[in-house]
Amino acid sequence: MTYCVGMMLDQGLVFMSDTRTNAGLDNISTFRKMHIWEDSGERVITLLSAGNLATTQSVISLLDERSKAPECRSPTVLAAESMFQVAQIIAGTLQEVIQQRTEVGQSSEKSFDATMILGGQIRGGTTRLFLIYPEGNFIEAGADTPFFQIGEIKYGRPILVRAYHPTLDFSAALKLMLVSFDSTLRANLTVGPPFDYHCYEADTFTRGPCGRVESDDPRFLTISEGWSDALKRALEELPSF
């Protein structure tokens, strides 16, 4: 399993992904599920992926290969003229990779499917956030649904639904996401640290603060341990039934 969140804020876009992959509960590994393409001053694109690891790695590699030489950049994520076109390219590649597995008659207990969150900004456009389905179609976030989750979405959803607000700054949004991730990993063994994050500040067209939160990161431990107490106090504050 996997847990990834992409969020639109007034300040920009925030992304977080876990790094645990598993083929059965007795076979876990650590893989990066966040990929960033940057053409500094011109565009920054972040992609989070959940699902079959061979599929998502294949999609990233195909997109990468096609982006390396500037003369081959069309149609690539580094040459597309809008985030909508980037979404079309990635969705097409994803659907193509999945279809290849199916066409060669491969079958597996597990599906070859994958789902992706795509967000970024290209000079001349606004920040945009998409959720890409394995079928090759996608939806875009807006004011009504300003964040997307993929993977094990349920445990971490209630806190996002309640505490999200577009005016959150990056620091508060990362705190909110870490609480959401902590709730998830306490309940599902197939979601695990470290967590990768990237905060893209709108209209900078440059990679923003990004990094990795390890399981023993004191900032994460403080949030994880403090949250139980904070929740208990919050519950006490509510009127009795």
Interface with its own copies, residue 228, by CB under 8 A:
yes
- Residue in 61, 82, 171, 215 binding its own copies, rule: CB under 8 A: 171
Instruction: Decide if residue 241 touches its own copies (CB under 8 A).
Output: yes
Q: Does 186 engage in binding with its own copies (CB under 8 A)?
A: yes
Binds its own copies (CB under 8 A): choice among 41, 70, 142, 226: 226
Q: Of 155, 181, 200, 205, which one interacts with its own copies (CB under 8 A)?
A: 155
SS3 209: coil
Options 7, 34, 60, 223; binder of its own copies; rule CB under 8 A = 223
The vertex-114 CA angle with 110 and 115, nearest 5°, equals 140
Q: Assess 154 for contact with its own copies (CB under 8 A).
A: yes
Residue closer to its own copies (CB basis): 2 or 76? 2
N residues, the chain? 241
Tell me if 44 contacts its own copies by CB under 8 A. Answer: no
Write a three-state SS string for 183-201.
HHHCCCCCCCCCEEEEEEE
The reply to whether 172 sits near its own copies by the rule CB under 8 A is: yes
Contacts by residues 111-114 (CB-CB < 8 Å, ≥ 24 positions apart): 111/51, 111/52, 112/52, 112/54, 112/55, 113/51, 113/52, 113/55, 114/49, 114/50, 114/51, 114/52, 114/55, 114/56, 114/59
* Site for its own copies, rule CB under 8 A: 154-159, 161-163, 165, 171-172, 174-176, 178-179, 183, 186-187, 219, 222-223, 226-228, 230-241
